Amino acid sequence: MKLLIYSHDTFGLGHLRRCRAIAHALLDHRHDLSVLILSGSPIIGSYGFRARADFIRIPGVVKLRSGGYTARGLDISTEDAIAIREAIIYSTADTFKPDIFLVDKEPLGLRGEVKNTLELLQSRGARTVLGLRDVMDDPQMLAREWKRKTVLPALEELYDDIWVYGRPEIYNPLKGIGVSSKVLDKITYTGYLRRSSNPAAAAHDPDHADISGPFILVTPGGGGDGAALVEWTLRAYEHDPDIPHEAVIVFGPFMHVDLQAQFRHRVDRLDRVHALTFDSNLEHLMSIASGVVAMGGYNTFCEILSFDKPAIIVPRTTPRLEQYLRASRAEDLGLAMMLVDDGAYDPQKMARALRLLPERPRPSEANLPGLLDGTTNICGIVDQWFSNLPDRAAAPQLRLVAEDYQGS
């Protein structure tokens, strides 16, 4: 059995980490499965992968503030970069011959680069699946974007299923888009994707050697747009050096090196603050933290829920409202506290929130059933599909009753 996953990865770590989490959950569950990930992330090689999983790095493309794109690293036009990516994606699918093709977030890929591959695999009987995070964007913004990209016909004709990695009582990512009943019938809310830590790997990480005692983890995700979060946190510790818990700040691999240097200079003058550039085993740090301060991207939110950590979320509001919508809904439901970035970075306000953070309610106290059943439900869906393939039924020990996943 073969699963091909496409992740366009023009910015940050979110898409790659989500796809990797799904791949590992399925590989742990099924020993007859191989997974191949197509990704534009420049740091995909920094992550470890399970046996029977591999990746192909397609040329990177960076999204500009203007909304356009440029090739990452190569001195070629964006059009040529997209043409190369499209050719690699198509030839990989043609040769790998997956049973399932999972596309992350972008229904047609970057500038339509997976449309031909979707048509090829659909003609061969592969299952085509679109995976969407719980929140995409402000509905009006998303509707305009998808109209411009002619996405709705693809949802109608090129996809068999749509997985939403969340719960409908928290958010409906297609609200206000005007999709047809045919598309609505394809949607399954899987629940959020539960994460786990790897203490054994962390024990051999020299970056963890100096981390001891209770601490607050500060993570701006990939870091490309995380300067405000780090700035606000540092101002709080500079203003109130007696905040009870130490802070461990992980800048993220995409934070500009000049910014990192400026922040490290300030960190070096604070006894209770430590800094790392990047940690591929961030889950372990979160699992042992007393609380979390984050921007509120999808993967970080899943980790906050999975490790049941009290959290302060400081969402970005540009270029998308995704993080703000998720954070405000999480605050409404008692899953986290939200602080809105007003550009003032009042150190007293953040210091007060940091002092109270470890005593805040944990997400589990909101008592929302099925919140973290995402990977369990995906494994059940895939079991059902594979058991129905002719002459390729799943082994008896891997079969699961479909009813076990209904209503989860």
Interval 53-95: pLDDT, tens: 999 999 988 776 666 677 877 888 889 999 999 999 999 999 9
Question: Residues 326, 271: one domain?
Answer: yes
> In this structure, are residues 298 and 133 in contact, taking their beta carbons and an 8 Å threshold?
yes
Question: Residues 301, 382: one domain?
Answer: no
Query: Residue 219 to residues 192, 312, 323, 377: CA-CA distances in angstroms?
Result: 20, 11, 14, 28
Distance separating alpha carbons of residues 129 and 90, to the nearest angstrom: 16
Distance separating alpha carbons of residues 127 and 165, to the nearest angstrom: 18
Structural tokens at position 267: 């960190």
Query: Residue 332 to residues 79, 286, 325, 329: CA-CA distances in angstroms?
Result: 44, 23, 11, 5
- Find where tokens 């719960």 sit: 167
Question: Residues 31, 168: one domain?
Answer: yes
Interval 292-341: pLDDT, tens: 999 999 999 999 999 999 999 999 988 889 999 999 999 999 999 999 99
Looking at mean pLDDT, say which of 5-19, 191-205, 261-275 comes out highest.
Answer: 261-275
Amino acid, res. 88: I
Question: Which CATH number characterizes residue 33's domain?
Answer: 3.40.50.2000
Looking at mean pLDDT, say which of 33-47, 56-70, 249-263, 385-399 comes out highest.
Answer: 249-263
Amino acid, res. 157: E
pLDDT at 401: 33
DSSP class of 268:
T
Q: For the chain, give the mean pLDDT.
A: 89
Residue-by-residue DSSP string for 302-339? HHHHHTT--EEE----SS-SHHHHHHHHHHHTTS-EE-
**What's the structural domain count of the chain?**
2
pLDDT at 205: 53
Question: Residues 14, 77: one domain?
Answer: yes
Question: Residues 75, 119: one domain?
Answer: yes
In terms of pLDDT, which residue wins out, 362 or 10? 362
Amino acid, res. 371: L
**Of 126, 203, 192, 134, which is closest to residue 159 (Cα–Cα)?**
126
Question: Residues 187, 299: one domain?
Answer: no
Question: Residues 350, 382: one domain?
Answer: no
**Of 77, 73, 70, which is closest to residue 57 (Cα–Cα)?**
73
Amino acid, res. 356: L
**Residue 61 backbone class (left: φ over 0; alpha: ψ -120 to 50; beta: rest):** beta
* Residue span of the structural domain in which 53 resides: 2-194+372-405
Question: Residues 306, 378: one domain?
Answer: no
pLDDT at 146: 95
**61 DSSP β-pair partners:** 71
398: pLDDT confidence band, cut at 50, 70 and 90?
A: very low
pLDDT, average across residues 369-396: 83
pLDDT at 78: 87
| Rounded percentage of the chain residues whose pLDDT exceeds 70 | 90
**Residues 240, 241, 243, CA angle at the centre, nearest 5°?**
75
Question: Residues 173, 70: one domain?
Answer: yes
Question: Residues 162, 236: one domain?
Answer: no
Structural tokens at position 350: 């953040």
pLDDT, average across residues 89-108: 97
Distance of alpha carbon 59 from its chain centroid, rounded?
Answer: 20
132: pLDDT confidence band, cut at 50, 70 and 90?
A: very high
Distance separating alpha carbons of residues 403 and 383, to the nearest angstrom: 12
Question: Residues 206, 187: one domain?
Answer: no
Question: Residues 11, 117: one domain?
Answer: yes
